[in-house]
Every structure is written in C-alpha cells, then in structure tokens.
Amino acid sequence: MTDDMQQLPETCEQCGSANLRKDIVRSAFWHNDRLVVVEDIPALVCENCHEQFYDDATVVLIDLMRGDGFPPEAAQSELSVPVFSLQQRAKGMSQP
C-alpha cells in the first residue's frame, strides 16, 4: 500500500475539467508579511483554469519549508517584484 500514496484528482476541483497534466511549477506563498517563491514543485495543472494540485508528499514538504520559516540564507535566488495598489488605481478612475 505504499505505491498508492498520491491522491491527485482526476478532474479539476476548481472547474471540473478533466484536462489535467503533470508539470513542475513554481508558486508564491505568503509567510507572515514576506512573499516567498518555491520552485521545482511537482504538480497537476488544469489546462483550463490553471489551478495547481499537489500530492500529499508535496504538501507535507511545503509545510516543512513553512515550518523552517523560509530562512533567507536557504534561498537559492532572490526576486524583486513590483507592488501595486488597487486603491491607487481606483483613484485614477475617478479623475475627470
């Protein structure tokens, strides 16, 4: 019973599509007020809505990384990302 640990959906739990493919993805996680990116994640990706599904072993690993606190010295690279304000955009729309 050890080779049946992967409990991946056959259809997308988000949109119901059966068009799922295995892929290696990266995903962003909020950890307290830091945004961190994890790469090399094996996932099942919905071709229709791009929802990503992880198997149990992957979820456990991500939880372990979260438990480690994503220490900066363990990061393999750094990204800088632009930050936008929805409120600022809304103000722009109210201009004449």
Binding to Zn ion by CB under 5 A, coded x per residue (else -) over 21-60, reads -------------------------x-xx-x---------
Cβ atoms of 57 and 6 within 8 Å: the answer is yes
CB of 56 to Zn ion, least distance (A): 20
Handedness of CA 3, 5, 7, 8 (dihedral sign): negative
Residue from 7, 17, 34, 60 touching Zn ion (CB under 5 A): that is 17
Rounded to an integer, what distance in angstroms lies between the CA atom of residue 1 and that of residue 19? 27
Cβ atoms of 40 and 13 within 8 Å: the answer is no
CB of 55 to Zn ion, least distance (A): 17
CB of 50 to Zn ion, least distance (A): 7
Buried b (16+ CB within 10 A) or exposed e, 8-21: eeeebeeeeeeebe
Q: Which residues within the stretch 56-95 sit at the binding site for Zn ion (CB under 5 A)?
A: none
Q: Which is nearer to Zn ion, 35 or 49 (CB)?
A: 49
Q: Which residues bind Zn ion (CB under 5 A)?
A: 12, 14-15, 17, 46, 48-49, 51
